[in-house]
């Protein structure tokens, strides 16, 4: 999960300090932006993308158009050319194909085809191993939070399942419905977990778009201590407002997961 942010300082405050994400790596890219990755207790990662003043302005344009918030979902694959071939055979158009790098190769699916979110298909020779930056704050707790899942609301659940389950290989680990709202939880090799939401109150929120990233759900020992957290019925919420632009659903260690929060 990658967030586009004009500055990574609020990302550090919440995702590194309050949620205890551990440094994975990060650096300035040759495409005019910086990346920084944090890992959580179950291995899932969140990445911050920050524009550089001297770089390509694509991220600046994105932030001017949409503001800070979700940018893309990354799915790592063992054979990127074969995945691109399967995607195109299924009717998707792969964009931004870059296969020449010895350590990182990537391609993208446009949100119009990918249920309203940029999907990055990637192959990596390993993980980032850059030294941590001097402004990385110490975590507030002794252990990192667990990133339970990324929740994505979609207008067409079957179409989303064709992509995230059929093409990208997710397998269903839970599903349910209530009050007109349905959900399907998909798991991937490794720690990745994606919750698809459809219908109910999310339908009006999605509107005419094919989908919108709904929230990130975390478990931690002190959810009420996260900056901006507001108590709900058995859980806490951080609203999707600037400077981060992404909604957080926060749970105590033994609390049940609300369908949509």
Strands (E), the chain: 2-4, 22-28, 33-39, 45-51, 69-76, 94-98, 104-109, 118-124, 146-154, 171-178, 181-187, 193-199, 211-219, 230-231, 236-238, 248-251
24 and 110 housed in the same domain: yes
Domain that holds residue 120: 2-124
- Are 91 and 44 within one domain? yes
On whether both 67 and 170 belong to a single domain, the answer is: no
Asked whether the predicted pLDDT for residue 182 surpasses 80, the reply is yes
pTM: 0.96
Task: Please indicate, yes or no, if residue 19 is contained in any of the structural domains.
Answer: yes
Do 103 and 210 share a domain, yes or no?
no
Arithmetic mean of pLDDT over the chain:
95
* 247 pLDDT above the threshold of 80: yes
Residue 156 lies in a domain: yes
Bridge partners of 149? Answer: 217
Residue-wise pLDDT tens digits, 139-162? 998 999 999 999 999 999 999 999
Domain membership of residue 131 (yes or no) is: no
> Is 42 inside a domain boundary?
yes
Are 181 and 241 within one domain? Answer: yes
Whether residue 205 sits in one domain with residue 244 = yes
Instruction: Indicate whether 55 pLDDT > 70.
Output: no
pLDDT higher than threshold 90 for residue 28: no
Q: What is the pLDDT of residue 183?
A: 97
In CATH, what number is assigned to the domain containing residue 169?
Answer: 3.10.180.10
- Given a cut of 90, whether residue 260 has pLDDT beyond it is no
Task: State how far the Cα of 227 lies from the Cα of 214, in Å rounded to an integer.
Answer: 19
Q: Sort strands 193-199 and 171-178 into parallel, antiparallel or unpaired.
A: unpaired
Task: Flag whether pLDDT at 238 surpasses 90.
Answer: yes
Same domain, residue pair 7 and 108: yes
User: Which of 62, 90, 124 is a domain's end point?
Assistant: 124
Q: Could you tell me if residue 260 is inside a domain?
A: no
Cα-based distances in Å from 229 to 41, 43, 70, 113, 232 = 20, 23, 19, 34, 9
Whether residues 120 and 150 share a domain: the answer is: no
CB distance 48 to 8 below 8 Å: yes
- Any domain includes 184: yes
Q: Is 211 helix (H, G, I), strand (E, B) or coil?
A: strand
Q: How far is CA 140 from the centre of its chain?
A: 22
Could you give the percent of the chain with pLDDT greater than 70?
A: 99
Domain count, the chain: 2
Residues 195 and 233 in one domain: yes
pLDDT of residue 232: 96
Give the pLDDT confidence score for residue 30 in this predicted structure: 80
Residue 132 lies in a domain: no
Asked whether residue 228 is domain-assigned, the answer is yes
> C-alpha angle 229/209/256, rounded to 5°?
35
Least confident stretch, 2-11, 60-69, 127-136, 184-193: 127-136
- CA distance linking residue 250 with residue 115, whole number of Å: 25
Q: What is the pLDDT of residues 72-113, one digit of tens each?
A: 999 999 999 999 999 999 999 999 999 999 999 999 999 999
* 7 and 78 assigned to the same domain: yes
Cα–Cα distance, 163 to 114 (Å, whole number): 7
């Amino acid at each position: 999960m990658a967030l586009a942010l004009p500055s990574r300082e609020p990302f550090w405050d919440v995702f590194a300090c309050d949620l205890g994400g551990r440094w994975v790596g990060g650096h300035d890219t040759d495409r005019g932006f910086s990346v920084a990755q944090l890992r959580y207790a179950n291995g899932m990662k969140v990445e911050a993308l920050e524009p550089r003043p001297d770089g390509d302005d694509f991220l600046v344009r994105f932030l001017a158009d949409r503001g800070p918030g979700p940018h893309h979902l990354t799915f790592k694959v063992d054979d990127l050319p074969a995945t691109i071939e399967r995607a195109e055979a299924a009717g998707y158009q792969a964009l931004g194909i870059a296969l020449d790098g010895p350590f990182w190769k990537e391609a993208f699916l446009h949100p119009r085809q990918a249920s309203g979110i940029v999907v990055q298909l990637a192959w990596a020779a390993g993980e980032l191993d850059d030294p941590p930056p001097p402004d990385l704050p110490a975590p507030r707790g002794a252990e990192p939070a667990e990133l339970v899942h990324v929740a994505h609301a979609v207008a067409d659940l079957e179409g989303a399942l064709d992509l995230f389950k059929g093409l990208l290989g997710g397998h269903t680990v839970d599903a349910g419905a209530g009050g007109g709202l349905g959900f399907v939880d998909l798991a991937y090799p490794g720690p990745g977990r994606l919750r698809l939401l459809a219908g109910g109150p999310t339908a009006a929120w999605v509107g005419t778009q094919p989908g919108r990233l709904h929230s990130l759900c975390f478990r931690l020992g002190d959810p009420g201590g996260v900056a901006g957290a507001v108590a709900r019925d058995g859980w806490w919420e951080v609203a999707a407002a600037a400077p981060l632009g992404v909604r957080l659903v926060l749970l105590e260690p033994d609390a049940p997961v609300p369908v949509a929060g």
